Amino acid sequence: MEDKLIILFENDDYFIIEKPAGITVNRSDTTTGELTLQDLIEAEDKIAKEDIDPEFINRAGIVHRLDKETSGVMIIARKSMSFRALQAQFKERIVEKSYLALVHGEIKPDRGEINAPVGRLPWNRKRFGVLAGGREALTYYETHTVFQDPKTNELLSLVILYPKTGRTHQIRVHLKHINFPIFSDPLYGGRKVARNDRRVLPRVFLHAHTISFQDPKTGEAVNYKSELGEDLQNFLKLLSALKS
């Protein structure tokens, strides 16, 4: 895991990073003794400390989050003005994101939508699921490539996902809901399946691929991309591509 920020772009108002897998985004009571993304941002002195907005300072400019094992592109605000503007864009669903995930099975149809409410499970507060009383959650998906594992002959699909809402664990829960769990997902992949997966890939195969939003100062539409990391690319090389 990297101990410094991987910066893809920066200006006076925000910067774009590539978050590695294995690092928690926000510091909390449960991250004592653990290096977080927030620690790295503060250590590199990337945000305006003279700014007096307490939420901006307490969050070190972090506008949104990714799960610990999820890698990929993120926006960090450098000033409270851009922090608030970007927060508003997320709330108004102006920000558009895409993710890449490798799932068990061949998804059919190869493109579609998953519209199912997501909420925290009452019997397990660390997990989320599709619940009647959950919050609205919508994800569009499109199959990129179908692979076969030469060792097990199992079919696996590399899928592009476009979440239109931002619920915690939304993509992971939605893919489990349609019976195509993400490879190496310890929470939603099934205990035995995930244990076998993690022998060959010790992280969830989920990557934040692109993000698009309006520049908080100019209003111009901007977009940024993070390609799959070496660990995920190397894993795909072990598989046989069947169709794309």
Burial 76-111 (b: 16+ CB within 10 A, else e): bbbbbbbbbbbbebeeeeebebbbbbbbbebbeeee
Global pTM reads: 0.94
pLDDT tens digits, one per residue of 114-144: 999 999 998 888 899 999 989 999 999 999 9
Domain boundary among 92, 111, 136: 92
pLDDT of residue 3: 75
* Active-site amino acid positions: 67
Torsion sign, CA atoms 132, 134, 139, 145:
negative
Burial 180-201 (b: 16+ CB within 10 A, else e): bbbbbbbbbbeeebbeebbeeb
pLDDT at 48 over 80: no
Same domain, 38 and 124: no
For residue 215, is it within any domain?
Answer: no
Torsion sign, CA atoms 161, 165, 167, 173:
negative
Q: Which domain holds residue 74?
A: 1-92
Task: DSSP for 28-49, please give it.
Answer: -GGGTTS--HHHHHHHTT-S-T
pLDDT at 1 over 70: no
pLDDT of residue 31: 76
Kindly report the average pLDDT of the chain as a whole number. Answer: 93
pLDDT at 5 over 70: yes
Same domain, 118 and 205: yes
Domain boundary among 92, 108, 140: 92
Same domain, 240 and 131: yes
pLDDT tens digits, one per residue of 49-93: 667 788 998 999 999 999 999 999 999 999 999 999 999 999 999
For residues 184 and 21, give the distance between their C-alpha atoms in angstroms, rounded to a whole number: 13
For residue 216, is it within any domain?
Answer: no
pLDDT of residue 241: 86
Domain boundary among 46, 61, 92: 92
| Token digits of residue 157 | 């699909």
pLDDT of residue 2: 60
Q: H/E element holding 84?
A: helix 80-91
- Tell me phi and psi for residue 171, to 5 degrees: -65, -45
Sole residue written with tokens 């592009």? 160
Same domain, 119 and 81: no
CA distances from 49 to 45, 52, 141 (A): 8, 8, 40
Please tell me whether residue 8 adopts helix, strand or coil conformation. strand
Total residues belonging to the chain: 244
pLDDT of residue 50: 67
pLDDT tens digits, one per residue of 23-47: 999 988 777 788 999 999 988 887 8
Same domain, 196 and 77: no
pLDDT tens digits, one per residue of 137-168: 999 999 999 999 999 999 999 999 999 999 99
Question: What is the domain-level CATH number for residue 51?
Answer: 3.30.2350.10
**Domain total in the chain:** 2
